[in-house]
Amino acid sequence: MANPKEKTPVCLVNELARFHSIQPQYKLLNESGPAHSKMFSVQLSLGEQTWESEGSSIKKAQQAVANKALTESTLPKPVQKPPKSNVNNNPGSITPT
């Protein structure tokens, strides 16, 4: 993720779930492979819909399954507000009197 202000897929799934008053549930399904190169399988449930994905860490698997859910979910998405513009909110541009 290049921009630190960009929301992660997990954050966006949480917003989607909150919008629909449901609780996202992440479940670790499987952990396989040798200790130095494990693979984790994670399941995400949003209401009646479920998705599965894997990754080299639990966090990466959660991000992958959240991304999959965002693209495949049939739940209506909340309206995104445009970022606020701080054109006239710069305290450094105020001249002391």
Mean pLDDT over 31-58 rounds to: 96
The answer, yes or no, to whether residue 55 has pLDDT greater than 80, is yes
Measured in residues, the chain has a length of 97
Quickly count helices (H) and strands (E) in the chain.
Answer: 2, 3
Q: What is the per-residue pLDDT across 77-94, written as a single tens digit (0 to 9) for each? A: 877 776 666 555 666 666
Q: Residue 84: its pLDDT value, please?
A: 67
- Going by pLDDT thresholds of 50, 70 and 90, the confidence category of residue 43 is very high
Matching residue, tokens 């701080």 = 86
DSSP SS3 for 74: coil
User: Rounded to two decimals, what is the model's pTM?
Assistant: 0.76
Domain locations in the chain? Answer: 25-72
Q: What percent of the chain has pLDDT over 90?
A: 68
1 and 60 Cβ atoms separated by less than 8 Å: no
- Strand 49-55 to 39-46 pairing: antiparallel
The helix-helix angle for 58-72 and 9-19 (nearest 10°) equals: 50
Q: Residue 30: its pLDDT value, please?
A: 97
Q: Residue 78: its pLDDT value, please?
A: 79
Query: 25-72: what fold?
Result: Double Stranded RNA Binding Domain (3.30.160)
